[in-house]
Amino acid sequence: MNYPLVGSAIVEHSGGLNNLRHVTNCMTRVRMTLADPAKVNIQALKGIEGVLGVVEDDTLQVIVGPGKSSKVATAINELLASGSQPPPQSDVEQKAALAREKSRKPTRTKAVLKHIANIFVPILPPLIAAGILMGLNNVLVNSAASYALTHAIAASGELSPAQVVLDQRHLLGLSQFLDIVSKALFSFLAIYTGVTTAREFNGNAIMGGLLGAITIAPQLPLLGLLPGQGGLIGVIFCVWLMCVLEKQVRRVVPDILDVVLTPTIVLTVMAGALLFAIMPVAGMVSNGILHSLNGLLATGGLAAGFVLASLFPFLISLGLHHGLFPIHLEMINATGHAPLFAIQIMSNAGMVGAATAVLLLTRDPVMKKIAKGAIPTSILAVGEPTIFGVNIPAGFAFITGSIGAGFGGMMVVLLGVSTNGVGAAGLSALPLIADGKYLQYIFAWLTGCLAAFVLTYITGKLRKYDRESV
């Protein structure tokens, strides 16, 4: 991809440089805050070579795929840095902009999910990296533990039987390295979440991280609390309150005393609220959510796996799947596993299977070209390229792909597949699979992919999709 060329084309069809207020990116999308959304040419954006789809939300989201989104966003920001700044708006323009913004005001639920997504999107890249390193270490340790058990190898000094085997294989140092790096993220995730939450709500980032650190302090049992009690739900709520309180305190504290009094008052009040109210209550809420989900998976069985996996493509297409990150991470903190995430990534299998069927059915050379680029990307990592580039444009393929994903979810439940981390899907999820059930995961993924392919291919034939003119 010619990133400067694609960036320039996106700017042109988004109303020009003067229409861009802020440009950033997530894993697969370039996200742009616009001065006037009416100036955007959606069809022209979709027609840019390399663009897989466009989502209109509170920000304009142009999907270009993993790895490419950051480079295209950088190219656009370079244009912004060298170009002219937006001129000041007239009163008429300001009133028109306010009217547009009011008409597009999101619902409360959507706003909450957007905030959660913004909190976790910055953590996502290191989260994926740490999850993969943890998965690789689990492969080493599980293999060594199995060998030690079958060969009756005993512990030696401070080394466990598995570590003795790793030492004999000259892999102990590598295993310890992987363990340290991966745990540096998962062990202190509450701190990172506190920082990003404070930034999302325009508070002091370090203060947010400090409150997150309090929730994992080893001295908490002295107060009758457990480290991590209330989890990330408690951290997010506490830091949000901190941002609200900080603004209120700053209004009444004299400027000359602000740098001393404001942080002292805010920290004292919020630390007390966190330890004696938020953590106990959030702990009950968190436990209730986890027990409900585990109960659903335990009692709902295959049906629960089918329904949940079938729904995830819709959540991903709306960008609402980020709202589940706190739940996945809470399940990992509480049980060491995230079975719901294993079901979620079956959406990837369904979308790949459906897109492959569309590739074979369609006579449209543009669709074939997009599908050939989107399918390998989705197999390796994320499903958005096939969702927005192939299946949603095809229409029926998104429905049949979602149903196919449901069959993958059934196999996940049947085979007891889970993950010990969260991250990307497809082959990238292999190192995240818990208990060494890599073959079971592949089988479940292939089941979802094959079911989606068959459903989409048959439906396409019945709908005469393969006969549509170019």
In tens, the pLDDT along 87-106 reads: 444 554 454 545 545 545 55
Lowest mean pLDDT of 45-54, 56-65, 291-300, name the range.
291-300
Lowest mean pLDDT of 143-152, 209-218, 311-320, name the range.
311-320
Mean pLDDT calculated for residue range 207-216: 94
Measured distance CA(226)–CA(41) in Å, rounded: 53
DSSP 424: -
SS3 state of residue 63: strand
DSSP 204: -
Mean pLDDT calculated for residue range 191-214: 93
Angle at 234 (CA atoms; ends 246, 329), nearest 5 degrees? 130
pLDDT tens digits along 212-250:
999 999 999 999 888 888 878 889 999 999 999 999 998
DSSP 153: P
98 by Cβ neighbours in 10 Å (0-12 / 13-18 / 19+) ranks as: exposed
pLDDT at 116 over 60: yes
The predicted structure's pLDDT at residue 298: 74
Lowest mean pLDDT of 111-115, 169-173, 223-227, name the range.
111-115
Angle at 140 (CA atoms; ends 138, 146), nearest 5 degrees? 95
Looking at per-residue confidence, does 344 or 171 come out higher? 171
Residue type, 457: Y
pTM for the model stands at 0.63
Looking at per-residue confidence, does 279 or 323 come out higher? 279
Residue with tokens 């580039």: 389
Mean pLDDT calculated for residue range 372-383: 76
Other beta carbons within 10 Å of 256: 8
The predicted structure's pLDDT at residue 85: 46
pLDDT at 48 over 80: yes
- Using DSSP bridges, classify how beta strands 20-25 and 60-63 pair: parallel, antiparallel or unpaired: unpaired
Q: Which residues are catalytic?
A: 26
Looking at per-residue confidence, does 410 or 317 come out higher? 410
The predicted structure's pLDDT at residue 79: 86
Measured distance CA(256)–CA(241) in Å, rounded: 24
What size, in residues, is the chain? 470
pLDDT tens digits along 320-345:
566 667 777 777 777 777 788 888 88
The predicted structure's pLDDT at residue 434: 80
Mean pLDDT calculated for residue range 9-26: 86
Reported confidence tier of residue 465, pLDDT bands at 50, 70, 90: confident
The predicted structure's pLDDT at residue 103: 46
* pLDDT > 90 fraction of the chain, expressed in percent and rounded: 27
pLDDT at 25 over 60: yes
Best-predicted range by mean pLDDT among 21-25, 188-192, 239-243, 419-423? 239-243
Measured distance CA(193)–CA(205) in Å, rounded: 10
The predicted structure's pLDDT at residue 323: 60
259 by Cβ neighbours in 10 Å (0-12 / 13-18 / 19+) ranks as: exposed
SS3 state of residue 433: strand
pLDDT at 109 over 90: no
CA torsion through residues 294, 299, 305, 310, sign = negative
Mean pLDDT calculated for residue range 151-172: 91
